[in-house]
Structure 1
Amino acid sequence: MTTGIRVHTGAGLLAHTDALRSVYVDAFCAPPWNEDEKRGAEFASRLPVNVERAGFTAATAVRDGVVVGFATAWTTPAPFPTGRCYPQAAAGLGPTRTADWLCGALEIDELAVRAAARGTGLAGDLLEAVTAYAPDGRAWLLTSVRNARAVAFYRRRGWTQATHPSPDGEGVVVFLGPRHPARSLAPRPL
C-alpha cells in the first residue's frame, strides 16, 4: 500500500468533492463529533466558496487510488470573522492578540482521516503539507476540547494551545502552529 500526499491551491480540488465528503463523514460521524450525513453534505456545499478564499490550500492523501484523508486551510481575513466558532476564539485571545496572531495567518479549517487510516502518521503528514508555506510560519487552528485525542495530537505535533476552555470544560481552544512566532507568548494552562 502506498500513500501519496498532494497539495491543491485552487478549484482543482473540487474534482474530489465526493471523495472528500465521504472522508468527512467517516471521520466526523463517529464519537466524539457525532455529526450526521447532513453535515458532510454541508461541508461539500461549502467547498466551492472555500477554494476561492485568499490563501486557500488543501492537501489530500490517496492510498491505492482512494482518498483516505485531507486538510484544508486559508488565510484568515482582517477584520477577524464573526461567524461559526470565531467569537469563542476571539474571546479567549482578546482583540489585540486575535488581530496580531490570527489575522493574516493560515487557518486550518478541516483535518480528516478515515478511521481505517488512523494511527499511521497520515494526519501529521497532511497537517505538515497544508502548513508548509504558512506566511512567516503563522498557522493556527481551533478544535473542540471534547476531543481529547485531537488536543493530544496537536500537542504531540508541536502545536501550542493558546486559549483554554471555560471552567465547565466546554468550547473550543486555539492552537498556534510549531513555527508561529507568538507561541512563546501564549498563556500557560493553570
Structure 2
Amino acid sequence: MTDIRLFQGPELLDHAVALHSVYVDAFCAPPWNEDAEQAIEFLGSLRVAVRRPGFTAALAFGGREVVGFATAWTTLAPFPTDRCYPRAAAGLGPERTVDWLCGAREIDELAVRPQAHGTGLAADLLEAVAEDAPDGRSWLLTSLRSPRAMSFYRGQGWTQATHPSPDGEGIVVFLGPRHPAGALAAQPL
C-alpha cells in the first residue's frame, strides 16, 4: 500500500536523497535522457522551490521508501521569463498567459519509479498537488518528446492548451481538469 503525504515547505528537503533517487529513475532514461549533472541541478532547484509562494509537494511512500513525488507552486505575475516559460507564453499569447497561468497552481515535477508505472500512483500524486488549486486553476508544461506523458495528462482530463508543430522538440501547456479556461483552449486541427 502506498501512503501519500503532503509537504508545504523546506521540511520536504529532509527527503532530498530519496527525491534525487526517484528523479534519476524517472528522468535519466528515455525519453527524457537527463544526465547526472541535470539530476544534481534538480536538487538545487528544489532548495529554491520550497520557498516559492504556494509551494506544495506530495510524496508517495511504499513502506519507508519514496516511490514517487509531485511538486507545485503558485505562478507569479509578471509571468516568469526563465526556464521554458517564454515558449509557454509564445504559445498562449500575452493575455491568455496572464489570465490563465498567473496566480494558478503550476505543477513543476511529477515522477514515479518505473516499477510504479501503470499503478495509478502518478494520477494520485498529480491530484494531490492540484486538488486545492485556486479556483481550480492548475497547469503544467511537458515535452512533445514523451507521447506517454502527453497521453497520461489527457487521460487525467487535462486540456492541451498549446499546439506546437509536431517536430518532437516543443513544449506544451496543459490546463488542469477544473481550470475554467479549459473550454477556451484551442483544439488541434
- Equivalent residues, number: 189
2:58 match: 59
1:87 match: 86
| Rounded Cα–Cα distance in structure 2 between residues aligned with 1:81 and 1:55 | 16
Q: How does 1:25-174 map to 2 (within 5 A)?
A: 25-166=24-165, 168-174=167-173
Displacement of 1:167 = 5.1
Displacement of 1:14 = 0.6
In structure 2, the gaps of 5 or more residues are none
Normalised to the residue count of structure 2, the TM-score between the two structures is: 0.98
SS of corresponding position for 1:71: strand
Shifted more, 32-41 versus 165-174: the winner is 165-174
| Rounded Cα–Cα distance in structure 2 between residues aligned with 1:61 and 1:118 | 13
Q: Structure 2 vs 1, CA of residues 143 and 124 (structure 1 numbering), >3 Å: closer, same or farther?
A: same
Displacement of 1:132 = 1.2
In structure 1, the gaps of 5 or more residues are none
SS of corresponding position for 1:91: helix
Aligned residue type for 2:90: A
Q: Structure 2 vs 1, CA of residues 115 and 38 (structure 1 numbering), >3 Å: closer, same or farther?
A: same
Displacement of 1:69 = 0.3
Aligned residue type for 2:163: H
Q: Percent identity?
A: 71
State the Cα deviation string for residues 124-168 of structure 1 (Å, max 9, x = none).
Answer: 000000111100000000100110000000000000000011253
1:16 match: 15
Aligned residue type for 1:154: Y
SS of corresponding position for 1:109: strand
Maintained 8 Å contact 2:144/2:166: no
Normalised to the residue count of structure 1, the TM-score between the two structures is: 0.98
| Rounded Cα–Cα distance in structure 2 between residues aligned with 1:115 and 1:62 | 14
